[in-house]
Amino acid sequence: MSDTLVIRGVEFRSRLWVGTGKYRSFDETVKAIEASGADVVTVAVRRVNITDRKSENFLDYLDLSRIKVLPNTAGCYTVEDALRYSRLAREAGVSDMVKLEVIGDEKTLFPDTAGLLAATETLAKEGFIVLPYTNDDPVMAKRLENAGAAAVMPLGAPIGSGLGIRNPYNIKIILEAATVPIVVDAGVGTASDAAIAMELGCDAVLINTAIAGAKDPIAMAEAMKHAVVAGRLAYRAGRIPKKLYATASSPIEGML
């Protein structure tokens, strides 16, 4: 039973993707990634420290033959910046894949969807595999897909909020209409949130803060791994419908 996620010909062994920000040390980052079983890690594009060349890079500690590096455009508030960072990321990395963020508001980190759509269109035309981070808005998800997004990454809740999947019905509608993979990005707080995203039928979940910010990030990474696997299996197994009243599981026949 093969259940591999494929995005534009790129195969993913894991449906859990992890971010690499906010960890306390490189060592913890690497151990958490290992425990999560993820084969995708997101990274940001930042200036090299040219005055202190001894500063290490955590990528030196990852097995890059096994783990895909997915650059993001975190921190970009304009289309121009997002395009600039994406183009730099392509030259710094090994693939055309980019997790596109155009942030619209500092406090909520909600996406600027108008800018996101424009940037998606431009980058798709330049041959990028664009994975835009967007709202849980079915109309925008479809528009991003039509603009050339290779997958769409709706938020479950604001980045780093840990509020879980706030609008499962919207995610469900997005999934119904989508012909590209849907990856929930942002909002997961604990394992059950990740399981819910997968039970809804999402193709993958991207988690950073819920793991990095947990009291024991390595244990939480493992919990997330199991939650994503369990959620995916439950989705494929097909859950029973929800009903208001009881249905007996034991036979009535043969009772005294």
Partner 1 sequence: MKLRVNGEEYLTESATLLDLLGELRIAPERVAVEVNLKVIKRADVPSLSLREGDVVEIVNFVGGGAPVISWAVWGYRQVAIYGAVGGRE
Count CB-CB contacts under 10 A for residue 25: 9
- Is residue 84 part of the contact set for partner 1 (CB under 8 A)? yes
List 58, 67, 104, 168, residue binding partner 1 (CB under 8 A): 58
Q: Distances in Å between the alpha carbon of 237 and those of 29, 158, 168, 197?
A: 33, 30, 19, 15
Using CB under 8 A, which of the segments 41-49, 117-125, 135-143, 247-255 binds partner 1?
A: 41-49
Q: Is 68 in the site for partner 1 (CB under 8 A)?
A: no
x-marked contacts with partner 1 along 95-134 as a string, rule CB under 8 A: ------x-----x-x-------------------------
Which of 156, 117, 120 has the alpha carbon at shortest distance from 136?
156
DSSP 139-195: HHHHHHHHTT-SSBEE-SSSTT-----S-HHHHHHHHHH-SS-BEEES---SHHHHH
Choose, by CB under 8 A, the member of 38, 43, 100, 220 that binds partner 1. Answer: 43
Nearer to partner 1, 107 or 242 (CB): 107
Region near partner 1 per CB under 8 A, out of 8-16, 42-50, 143-151, 218-226: 42-50
172 belongs to the catalytic site? no
Interatomic CA distance for residues 167 and 156, integer angstroms: 7
Are 180 and 151 in contact by the 8 Å Cβ rule? The answer is yes
Angle, vertex CA 159, rays to CA 236 and CA 23, nearest 5: 95
Give dist(CA 166, CA 49) in Å, integer: 39
Number of residues that bind partner 1 (CB under 8 A): 44
Tell me whether residue 37 or residue 178 sits nearer to partner 1 (CB atom): 37
The residues assigned a catalytic role are 99
Binding site for partner 1 (CB under 8 A): 19-23, 26, 29, 42-48, 50-51, 53, 57-59, 69, 71-72, 74-75, 84, 87-93, 101, 107, 109, 158-161, 186, 208-209, 212
